[in-house]
Amino acid sequence: MTAELPPGLALQKVDERIMTLNVGPQHPGSGHMRIVVQIDGDYIVACDPDPGYVHRGEEKMAEYRNYITNIPHLERPVIHDSCNVLYPYVLGAEEILGIEVPERAKYVRVIASELNRCIYTQYWLAIYGIFLGHSTMFMWPAGDRELLIDLMEKMSGARVTHAHFVPGGVRNDLPANFEDACLRQVNYFEKRIKEYAAVFYDNPILISRTKDTGVLSKQDAIRLGTTGSVLRASGVDYDLRIKEPYDVYEELDVHTNVMKEGDSYARSKVPWLDMMESCNIIRQALQKMPKSGSVRTKLKPNPKTKGPETVYKRVESGRGSLGCYIVSDGKTEPYRVKMSVGSFRNLIALPYLLKGEKLGNMPSVYWSLNYWPVEADR
Amino acid sequence: MSEETEKPTPETTEKSVAKQEEVIELPALEKGLSEKLTSKFGEKTSIAFVKENRVRVDVKKEDVHDVAEFIRDEMNFDHVESVTGVDFPDDKEIEVVYHIGSYTDNSLANQVLTLATRAPREDIPIPGKDGTRLPTLRDIFYSVEFHEREVFEMLGVYFDGHPDNRRLLLPEDWADLPPLRKDFAIKGR
């Protein structure tokens, strides 16, 4: 064995007291990632997250396809939130290709993106429930999510991977009577998620497991550059739908939900409150949406760009700010596409939060970061 | 915005030139940000563009640390959203772009300051003896830690002073070119 190891490998000292534990990548409590934790008895002394098991090379693939053919694969990192994942890319491509979007399409996008935010959050909440051994909280969100998936199926034709947003608008117009069905289902959905309080959020067992665990202070949340619900649970009032409104969010009345505690409980509650806000936004958008009109600016199959340009667009996704940096060199394919995703940005808080925590609290802290392994890897 | 279907007569082209100048004068806050940087660093920085909510500054790699420190301490930007490496094999350079935002200053909430720098690119990177080097900004913005690790593995840019220069997403035994370099080709494409 040579003394010099290749980069990325390190020899570890063996300590009698400290035990190194690999959680994942096949462990149900880690998702598709590995968390290397060092424990002293029951307490975590160090944590090293090791993502990359579901790396798909989306950014490399995007360099080989033109602005339109990139759409179906760029939504793959978070299929439950596919509209929001695609949103910044589509906004950036519109600026590069110089396309205007019809007013009705902007409203359809807002409705689709808010529906997707709820669909994603329900899936995340279901997994959070089962992580904590709460089977009802797995069944309820997974079932109620179907209401909104049916709506997305009516809207786009696909249940999960919609590929509905295209530069210039959305792929199809809304079907007949969509507004009524949407209003009815969203109202019922809101009534349902309010019932989660009694079974989950006011449940003393959940409170005892998540209160005061993994506390992220406001200063550290800012310093670590966290985003989305993690940031808002630590008392920073920052939501891109308000701070940098895109499409028609400026004309809608959007409120943020902020909690000051910064513990796992607050981080698990903020997305739930956000879902109710999404229902409000959908109702407003349905009311204000123009009743007829075009939803898509026609594009050529291989659209020309205006010339070399760089764009950085960002939207508020289910996991926080999602930025897309596109470098165009004037060709029909982008020169470089970079997705700065919320999961990857929140991952940096994990080693920080787990240090000094009990091993049994790891799932509640880890999943409260609103982390989606596939999105972080891209 | 006027429709751009008008025929290009000499008059309209003059008008469009005048309009472009107006557009440049619009974002006052962004202009203030760029002027603050140029008044402090002068020749060392070059403002690439000033758009609505976006300012881009290009600096040499020797100055990137000082400029970033000034951006944090004097301009109230507090976190890095994204670090992107872009390979330019024709220029024999790799560009690293930091998108910097602010949570604490409400007037800057919609602003993204883009700080770009370039490192010389060696053609055949040798792991462990990287020639493409940049100073790390991790001591200024803590939030770049994982982003710089990603740029290190994906483009082979070694960040001097980074406490944890290990691979993040790629497997430990990856023995090919950094995959986001342009000369790493996808099979069949």
Q: What is the pLDDT of residue B61?
A: 84
Q: What is the pLDDT of residue B15?
A: 44
**Subunit contact A348:B143, Cβ cutoff 8 A:** yes
With respect to residue B28, please indicate whether it lies within any of the assigned structural domains.
no
Structure tokens at B116: 């770009």
**Subunit contact A345:B81, Cβ cutoff 8 A:** yes
Average pLDDT of the segment spanning A225-253: 88
With respect to residue B37, please indicate whether it lies within any of the assigned structural domains.
no
Query: B-side interface with A, Cβ within 8 Å?
Result: 53-54, 56, 78-82, 84, 86-87, 97, 99, 103-104, 109-110, 112, 114, 127-128, 141-143, 145-147, 150, 165-174, 179-180, 184, 186, 189
Q: What is the pLDDT of residue A3?
A: 63
Taken as a whole, chain B contains a residue count of 189
Q: How far is C-alpha A56 from the geometric centre of its chain's CA atoms? A: 17
Q: What is the pLDDT of residue A32?
A: 82
Find the helix or strand (DSSP H, E) in which A186 lies. helix A178-194
Answer whether A50's CB lies under 8 Å from A31's CB: no
Which residues neighbour B121 within 8 Å (Cβ) at sequence distance 6 or greater? B87, B88, B89, B92, B93, B94, B132
Q: What is the pLDDT of residue A279?
A: 92
With respect to residue B148, please indicate whether it lies within any of the assigned structural domains.
yes
Going from N- to C-terminal start, the domains of chain A cover: 58-377
Q: What is the pLDDT of residue A88?
A: 92
pLDDT digits (tens, 9 = 90+) for A309-353: 888 999 998 888 899 999 988 888 889 999 989 888 888 888 888
Of A61, A225, A314, the CB nearest to B79: A225
Q: What is the pLDDT of residue B9?
A: 44
Higher pLDDT pick, A75 / B186: A75
Q: What is the pLDDT of residue A133?
A: 84
Find the helix or strand (DSSP H, E) in which B57 lies. strand B54-59
Of A243, A314, A347, the CB nearest to B146: A347
pLDDT > 70: what percent of chain B?
84
**Subunit contact B186:A222, Cβ cutoff 8 A:** no
**Smallest Cα distance from B174 to chain A, Å:** 9
**Smallest Cα distance from A350 to chain B, Å:** 12
Q: Choose the weakest-confidence range: A91-105, A130-144, B28-42.
A: B28-42
Answer whether B184's CB lies under 8 Å from B125's CB: no
Of B87, B103, B184, the CB nearest to A238: B103
For B146, phi then psi, to 5°, come to -75, -30
With respect to residue B14, please indicate whether it lies within any of the assigned structural domains.
no
Does residue A183 carry a pLDDT above 70?
A: yes
Does residue A199 carry a pLDDT above 70?
A: yes
How would residue B153 be classed by pLDDT, with cut points 50, 70 and 90?
confident
Answer whether A101's CB lies under 8 Å from A110's CB: no
Does residue A86 carry a pLDDT above 80?
A: yes
How would residue A27 be classed by pLDDT, with cut points 50, 70 and 90?
low
Which residues neighbour A313 within 8 Å (Cβ) at sequence distance 6 or greater? A88, A89, A91, A92, A95, A246, A323, A324, A326
How many Å apart are CA A37 and CA B79, to the nearest integer?
27
**Mutation for A interface: B169, B176, B181, B182, most A CBs within 10 A:** B169
Q: What is the pLDDT of residue A12?
A: 67
Query: Whose CA is closest to A276, among A190, A370, A198, A197?
Result: A190
How would residue A79 be classed by pLDDT, with cut points 50, 70 and 90?
confident
pLDDT digits (tens, 9 = 90+) for A42-76: 888 888 888 888 888 888 888 888 888 888 888 88
Q: Provide the domain limits for residue B80.
A: 46-176
Q: Which residue has the tokens 């505690």?
A: A261
pLDDT digits (tens, 9 = 90+) for B98-111: 999 888 888 888 88
Q: Choose the weakest-confidence range: A7-16, A70-79, A202-211, A271-280.
A: A7-16
Contacts of B189 in chain A (CB under 8 A): 64
**Mutation for B interface: A232, A345, A377, most B CBs within 10 A:** A345
Written as one letter, the residue type at A263 is: D
Contacts of A317 in chain B (CB under 8 A): none
Q: For residue A265, how many other CB atoms are within 10 A of its CB? A: 23
- Alpha-carbon distance values, A125 to A121, A360, A367 (Å): 6, 19, 9
Q: How far is C-alpha B139 from the geometric centre of its chain's CA atoms? A: 18
Average pLDDT of the segment spanning A200-210: 88
Average pLDDT of the segment spanning A30-44: 84
Helices and strands, number each (H, E), in chain A: 16, 8
Structure tokens at A241: 């739908």
Higher pLDDT pick, A324 / B30: A324
The chain-wide mean pLDDT, for chain A, equals 87
Q: How far is C-alpha A371 from the geometric centre of its chain's CA atoms? A: 8
Domain count, chain B: 1
Contacts of B89 in chain A (CB under 8 A): none
Average pLDDT of the segment spanning B86-103: 89
Does residue B24 carry a pLDDT above 70?
A: no
Contacts of A325 in chain B (CB under 8 A): 82, 84, 97, 99
Q: What is the pLDDT of residue A114?
A: 92
With respect to residue B33, please indicate whether it lies within any of the assigned structural domains.
no
Q: What is the pLDDT of residue A80?
A: 87
Taken as a whole, chain A contains a residue count of 378
**Smallest Cα distance from A376 to chain B, Å:** 9
pLDDT digits (tens, 9 = 90+) for B155-181: 888 888 888 877 888 887 777 788 888
Q: Choose the weakest-confidence range: A24-33, A80-89, A282-291.
A: A24-33
Does residue A298 carry a pLDDT above 60?
A: yes
Does residue A357 carry a pLDDT above 80?
A: yes
Written as one letter, the residue type at A36 is: V
Q: What is the pLDDT of residue A173?
A: 87
Higher pLDDT pick, A119 / B74: A119
Residue B149 exposed, middle or buried by CB count within 10 Å (0-12, 13-18, 19+)? buried
The chain-wide mean pLDDT, for chain B, equals 78
Of B127, B143, B165, the CB nearest to A225: B143
Contacts of B179 in chain A (CB under 8 A): 57, 60
**Subunit contact B166:A8, Cβ cutoff 8 A:** yes
Third-level CATH fold of A58-377: Cytochrome-c3 Hydrogenase; chain B (1.10.645)
Find the helix or strand (DSSP H, E) in which A314 lies. strand A308-317
The three state secondary structure string of A155-182 is HHCCCCCCCCEECCEECCCCCCCHHHHH
Average pLDDT of the segment spanning A165-181: 88
Written as one letter, the residue type at A144 is: D
For residue B98, give the CATH number of its domain. 3.30.460.80
Residue B155 exposed, middle or buried by CB count within 10 Å (0-12, 13-18, 19+)? buried
**Smallest Cα distance from B19 to chain A, Å:** 17
Structure tokens at A146: 């179907």
Of B53, B104, B171, the CB nearest to A222: B104
How many Å apart are CA B80 and CA B102, to the nearest integer?
8
Q: What angle do CA A215, A217, A221 make, to 5 degrees?
A: 110
pLDDT > 90: what percent of chain A?
15
How many Å apart are CA A357 and CA A338, to the nearest integer?
34
**Subunit contact B179:A64, Cβ cutoff 8 A:** no
Report helix angle B64-75 to B28-41, nearest 10. 130
Answer whether A45's CB lies under 8 Å from A309's CB: no
With respect to residue B164, please indicate whether it lies within any of the assigned structural domains.
yes
**Mutation for A interface: B79, B80, B140, most A CBs within 10 A:** B79
Q: What is the pLDDT of residue A7?
A: 60
Higher pLDDT pick, A378 / A149: A149
